[in-house]
Chains A and B, each alone.
Chain A
């Protein structure tokens, strides 16, 4: 079912049906979206359930003024960033840093099946500031257009382009330092 059809279900008050269609369309996609932020299958699984609970709660307030895709991505991205912020605070209270925690997660991830370059790329991304990380993940991996990322994150396209450029530079710098570049 397309987003437009789901939006029609919502506007017609058929919430449960619309929600089930959203789950079918977006659960896997959002899983990978959140997984790249959190670097943990278990945390992603937990957070995804919270995200869909929020989607269910907020569904009656969806007016169709924005695209369903950007609306649901906005919820998921905000939740992922909030979760990262909470993790950062918890780590600070344990006198540790989120960077080292993320490095451990990437290193010990039993569900990782990439090579060392991809592992280094994951580490580099986790070192980015929250906004740059979100922009980089959406643009680089999901190839979401800037206009849509702008609606998801609520910031201008120009700022997004700058963020993506900076993020890319930082990631490349890290990779050059860690593994050397490839032509």
Chain B
């Protein structure tokens, strides 16, 4: 089966009327330097793709920086464990190194009593009226 017909070799395109005469005149003017005007027109840059490329690079930069930062912070936090280990090692007693791993009873909550609160308020310089109000509430 032959799909390429001999007729298909014939030209099936047209050009505007008088185009080739005009083309010859334009091309013949190239040696006289009028080709520069043509060059400007032909060499006109379509900036859209270059802007698109620049935008792609900008997006890649921003996304890349974000990924690197998140990875970096994760690594930093992971790395801090090692640092803590080192700190703990430094703090370990030479006589009783196992003390470093002694577990403290965390079930007992630190209790802040009223006196502590008053001390704090006094040290922080609150007014006498506020102190008085606090005292009254405590006395109730």
Contacts and interface: CB of A to CB of B under 8 A. Distances in A.
Interface of A: 15-16, 19-20, 23-24, 27-28, 31-32, 35, 41, 45-50, 52-53, 56, 89-90, 93-94, 109, 111-115, 117-118, 121, 140-141, 143, 168, 171-172, 175-176, 179, 181-183
A22 to B, nearest CB: 9
Interface string B1-16: 1111100110111111
B27 A49 contact: yes
Contacts of B24: 23-24, 27
Given A27-B20, A53-B35, A113-B12, A172 B4 contact: yes
A50 B15 CA distance: 19
Given A112-B12, A113-B12, A53 B30 contact: yes
Given A35-B13, A50-B42, A19 B3 contact: no
Contacts, number: 106
Contact of A93 (B4, B16, B39, B52): B52
Contacts of B140: none
Contacts of A141: 9
Interface string B98-136: 000000000000000000000000000000000000000
B12 A118 contact: yes
Given A46-B41, A89-B49, A94-B48, A109 B3 contact: no
The 7 closest A-B pairs by CB, nearest first: A114-B12, A175-B3, A181-B1, A93-B49, A181-B3, A23-B27, A90-B49
Nearest to B42: A46
A123 to B, nearest CB: 12
Name B's interface SS: helix
Grouping DSSP codes into helix (H, G, I), strand (E, B) and loop, the A interface class, with mixed when no group exceeds half, is: helix
A53 B37 CA distance: 12
B23 A27 contact: yes
Contact of B31 (A15, A47, A140): A15
Contacts of A46: 41-42
Given A27-B23, A27-B27, A182 B2 contact: yes
A53 B39 CA distance: 8
Given A90-B46, A121-B4, A111 B13 contact: yes
B20 A183 contact: no
B31 A56 contact: yes
Contacts of B11: 32
Contacts of B16: 41, 111
Contact of A111 (B4, B8, B15): B15
* Most A-side CB within 10 Å, residue of B31, B46, B48: B31
